């Protein structure tokens, strides 16, 4: 497996989410919440979609490939994501 100088480890090829993680770190929590709210509103209009699948679709669209791996490698970023998801769930329950 080739070595990636960006992640300082093995190259993940098509499963690489390095730049998505960078963008997530730089975005404010409010900006991410507004994007999630838009995604959830769009997904919940479909009768087959629920909140969790809307969240998964959002993370996938911004480029996060494997949330479990992200949480292992970057616990601080994972904590940011989990806190954003909790706030988003509260917003959905309030509406």
Q: For the chain, what are the domain ranges?
A: 18-94
pTM of the model: 0.82
Angle between helices 75-94 and 51-62 (to 10 degrees): 140
pLDDT digits (tens, 9 = 90+) for 40-50: 887 777 777 78
Do the Cβ atoms of 21 and 74 come closer than 8 Å? Answer: yes
pLDDT digits (tens, 9 = 90+) for 73-85: 899 999 999 999 9
pLDDT at 95: 59
Task: Tell me whether residue 69 is exposed, middle or buried, using C-beta atoms within 10 angstroms of its C-beta: 0 to 12, 13 to 18, 19 or more.
Answer: middle
Which residues lie across from 10 on neighbouring strands? Answer: 3
């Amino acid at each position: 497996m080739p070595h990636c100088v960006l992640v300082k480890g093995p190259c993940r090829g098509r499963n690489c989410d390095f730049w998505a993680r960078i963008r997530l770190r730089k975005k404010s929590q409010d900006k991410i919440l507004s994007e999630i709210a838009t995604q959830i509103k769009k997904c919940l209009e479909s009768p087959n979609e629920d909140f969790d699948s809307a969240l998964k679709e959002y993370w996938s669209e911004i480029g996060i490939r494997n949330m479990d791996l992200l949480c292992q490698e970057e616990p601080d970023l994972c904590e940011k994501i989990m806190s954003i998801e909790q706030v988003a769930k509260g917003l959905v329950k309030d509406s």
